[in-house]
Every structure is written in C-alpha cells, then in structure tokens.
Amino acid sequence: LWSDIATCSVTLAMIKPDAVMKMGSIIEAIFDTGFIITKAKMVQLNRMEAMDFYSEHQSKSFFTDLINFMTSGPIIALEVIGDDAVSSWRKLLGPTNSCVARSESPGSIRARFGTDGTRNAAHGSDSIASAARELEFFFPSSGGRGPKNTARFTDC
C-alpha cells in the first residue's frame, strides 16, 4: 500500500507537444517506475496560458522559443503520485537538455524521447510548492464544466 510509504507525494508531469505521439511509451515508463497516474488531461495551451505556466522564465533568453514550442500542439498533463514524486519524477526525466540526457542518463525520458534543449519531451514540477501551483493550473479544484472528478485513490 502507498500508505506504507511515508514519503508518498504528488507532482505534475506533462508530456510536451514533441512527445504526445509517444505517449504510450512514456506512460509505460511512468508505470514501470512504480508511479500511479491519478488525473490526466490533453489540452492545447494558448500563449497567455503558456506564459502564465512558465512565468518564472519570462526574462530568460529562451522564453520566446519555449512559448512557441509549448503552444505548437497539444500537451498531456498528468497528476502523478509515488514515493517522493517531485524528485523521483525529475530523476526519471533526466537532464533538461535531451542531448545531455543521452550522454549522462541514457535510460531517461528526455534521452529516449526528446530532441534538444527546448524540445525535451516532458516536464516535471521542481518543488512541492510548484507541484501544488501547477496541479491547480491544470486541474482546478473548482472543476469547471463537465463531469466532476470524484475518483479517489484512497490507498495513497
């Protein structure tokens, strides 16, 4: 049971536009590593939404490239739970740059499914506070229109 693992926690994983066609392999890697997916949503971000999500990077030289990339097609947002989810998901992701990932962490998601420093297949929250903000961004507690998500994973 997940309740036996004191550090069971939650993070926001995202499959980026370059890797949506490889979602099957990425989701398989998520389960093979022992995570559980508790929410999932495919959406295409508009520029305002992408700039809001990545607002911490607005002054960076790569910001425009990042926003162009992140709005170029649909993404898949995932709520992922597991043992120390924030850091263990980022470990599975590998280094930010997929070229670096292929030399330093060959089995990682970014090594296997990403292309370069921008097109790097997937995202992971970088702290527990970021995870809370990013999960609220994609899965607002108010819910919006449509069926309410009443699924409960009570063994975590």
Residues at the interface with ligand RTP (CB under 6 A): 57, 62, 66, 96, 117-118, 120, 123-124, 126
Report the residue number, 2 or 63, with the smaller CB distance to ligand RTP.
63
Q: Which amino acid is at 20?
A: V
Catalytic residue among 30, 123, 124, 138: 123
In the bound complex, what is the minimum distance in angstroms from residue 70's beta carbon to Mg ion? 12
| Residue 20: how many other CB atoms lie within 10 Å | 16
Distance between CA 110 and CA 100 in Å, rounded?
Answer: 9
| Residue 130: how many other CB atoms lie within 10 Å | 15
Backbone phi, psi, residue 95, to 5°: -60, 155
Report the residue number, 25 or 68, with the smaller CB distance to ligand RTP.
68
Has 123 been annotated as catalytic? yes
In the bound complex, what is the minimum distance in angstroms from residue 135's beta carbon to ligand RTP? 14
Report the residue number, 49 or 126, with the smaller CB distance to Mg ion.
126
What are the residues whose beta carbons fall under 8 Å from the beta carbon of 62, sequence distance 6 or more?
A: 117, 118
List the catalytic residues.
Answer: 123
Question: Which residues does the annotation place in the binding site for ATP?
Answer: 16, 62, 90, 96, 110, 120
